[in-house]
């Protein structure tokens, strides 16, 4: 009986040693922690002891393999640590490449710490199980790794609000699982890859506030699931592909503050797009007379372009226009009467050549 008791004790202790995280994963986490400095909340205070799989703040292991699978450290959170400290997070230091020794990592979130700087580790692209890479809201510099396309499981790539420079790697279009791409507010330059349309799972492509140049690759319009395309505040030139207005689920199209020329494609004004901002480009020609019941806009901002001619009669057939801005163009003529206009103010039509009628001054004839 006693022998049996001791045997089960031994089995139990072996089992609990197997249950804790591998020493190599623990060492990688400690090296990662040592490159960071978090002075206000003490989020790393729990990173002690041998078992990094239990009660290490923000660390989760795979229940089968006991390897570290997720790191989730958010500087803006509802967690009690933040409520006690009555502040948001702030961290300095850099993301140590030692994190790439966690070869089973599936999700890496180091978000909104503002002060984390240094370069984006290039070894990220060698983490074969990575599904989520989110380092939004830091001061990270460096480049997107040229071989990022190797991460064929990646679904979320969020590098927004950092100082990342250089081009969009050609290999990016090999990310066949990517659903959410957010690189807003960085220092990216160069062109969008011509074969951007290969990102067949993409539903949000947010690239605003960079210095991306060149044309909008027409292949984008083949991405069936794309709902939100934001290329605003870049240096994009050329014409707007008319096929953007034929996309199945595109609801938000922000191309404002670029160097786009040519006409506004008629397809955009009678499509599923409900949020359309083309402001501050060099678009020209007349407003196509194609508005109809499918024209439903929470935002329609065409201000600061070179549009001329009248506001088309069909405008009053639009089913809804929440916020309209046609100001700072060369439009002329009577503003059509109709329900979409009843709530609009004069500022929606200001700074044109000779628009008249409600809500502007009456036409003189």
Residues engaged in binding ligand NAG (CB under 6 A) = 149, 170-171, 174, 232, 256-257, 277, 279-280, 299, 301, 323
Locate 60 and state its tokens: 């989760």
- Which CB, 170 or 242, lies closer to ligand NAG? 170
Closest distance of CB 55 from ligand NAG, Å: 40
Locate 354 and state its tokens: 């000779």
Closest distance of CB 232 from ligand NAG, Å: 6
Locate 115 and state its tokens: 């002060």
- Which CB, 81 or 350, lies closer to ligand NAG? 350
- Which CB, 134 or 301, lies closer to ligand NAG? 301
Handedness of CA 142, 154, 185, 222 (dihedral sign): positive
For 80, phi then psi, to 5°, come to -55, -30
Show Cβ contacts of residue 62 under 8 Å, excluding neighbours closer than 6 positions: 68, 69, 104, 106
Q: How far apart are CA 261 and CA 299, in angstroms?
A: 21
Closest distance of CB 301 from ligand NAG, Å: 4
- Which CB, 77 or 210, lies closer to ligand NAG? 210
- Which CB, 138 or 305, lies closer to ligand NAG? 305
- Which CB, 162 or 280, lies closer to ligand NAG? 280
Helix (H, G, I), strand (E, B) or coil at 19: helix
Closest distance of CB 277 from ligand NAG, Å: 4
Closest distance of CB 256 from ligand NAG, Å: 3
Q: How far apart are CA 159 and CA 186, in angstroms?
A: 8
Closest distance of CB 145 from ligand NAG, Å: 11
List of E strands, 129-210: 132-134, 156-158, 165-166, 180-182, 187-191, 204-206
Closest distance of CB 161 from ligand NAG, Å: 17
Residue 48: other Cβ atoms inside 10 A: 11
For 346, phi then psi, to 5°, come to -55, -30
- Which CB, 252 or 267, lies closer to ligand NAG? 252
- Which CB, 137 or 145, lies closer to ligand NAG? 145
CA 284 to chain centre: 29
Q: CA torsion angle for 36, 42, 46, 47 (degrees, to 10)?
A: 10
Provide the 8-state DSSP code for 338: S
Provide the 8-state DSSP code for 273: -
Q: How far apart are CA 356 and CA 352, in angstroms?
A: 10
Closest distance of CB 288 from ligand NAG, Å: 20
């Amino acid at each position: 009986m006693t022998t049996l008791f001791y045997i089960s004790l031994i089995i139990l202790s072996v089992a609990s040693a197997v249950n804790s995280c591998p020493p190599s994963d623990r060492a990688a986490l400690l090296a990662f922690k040592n490159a960071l400095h978090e002075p206000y909340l003490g989020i790393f205070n729990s990173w002690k002891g041998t078992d990094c799989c239990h009660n290490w703040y923000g660390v989760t292991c795979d229940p089968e393999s006991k390897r570290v699978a997720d790191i989730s450290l958010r500087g803006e959170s509802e967690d009690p640590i933040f409520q006690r400290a009555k502040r948001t997070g702030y961290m300095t230091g850099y993301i140590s490449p030692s994190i790439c020794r966690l070869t089973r990592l599936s999700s890496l979130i180091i978000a909104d710490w503002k002060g984390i700087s240094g370069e984006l580790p290039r070894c990220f692209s060698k983490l074969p199980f990575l599904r989520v890479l989110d380092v939004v809201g830091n001061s990270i510099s460096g480049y997107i790794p040229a071989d990022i396309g190797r991460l064929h499981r990646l679904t979320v790539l969020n590098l927004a609000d950092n100082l990342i420079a250089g081009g969009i790697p050609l290999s990016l279009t090999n990310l066949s699982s990517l659903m959410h791409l957010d690189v807003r507010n960085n220092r990216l330059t160069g062109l969008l890859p011509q074969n951007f349309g290969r990102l067949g799972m993409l539903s949000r492509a947010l690239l605003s506030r960079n210095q991306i140049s060149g044309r909008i690759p027409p292949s984008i319009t083949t991405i069936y699931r794309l709902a939100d395309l934001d290329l605003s505040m870049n240096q994009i030139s050329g014409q707007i592909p008319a096929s953007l207005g034929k996309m199945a689920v595109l609801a938000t199209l922000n191309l404002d503050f670029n160097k786009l020329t040519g006409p506004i494609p008629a397809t955009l004004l009678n499509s599923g797009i409900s949020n359309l901002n083309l402001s501050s480009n060099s678009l020209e020609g007349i407003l196509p007379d194609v508005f109809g019941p499918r024209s439903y806009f929470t935002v329609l901002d065409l201000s600061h372009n070179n549009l001329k001619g009248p506001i088309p009669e069909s405008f009053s057939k639009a089913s809804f226009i929440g916020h309209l801005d046609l100001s700072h163009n060369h439009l002329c003529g009577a503003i059509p009467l109709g329900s979409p206009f009843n709530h609009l103010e004069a500022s929606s039509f200001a700074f044109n050549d000779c628009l008249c009628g409600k809500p502007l001054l009456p036409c003189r004839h």
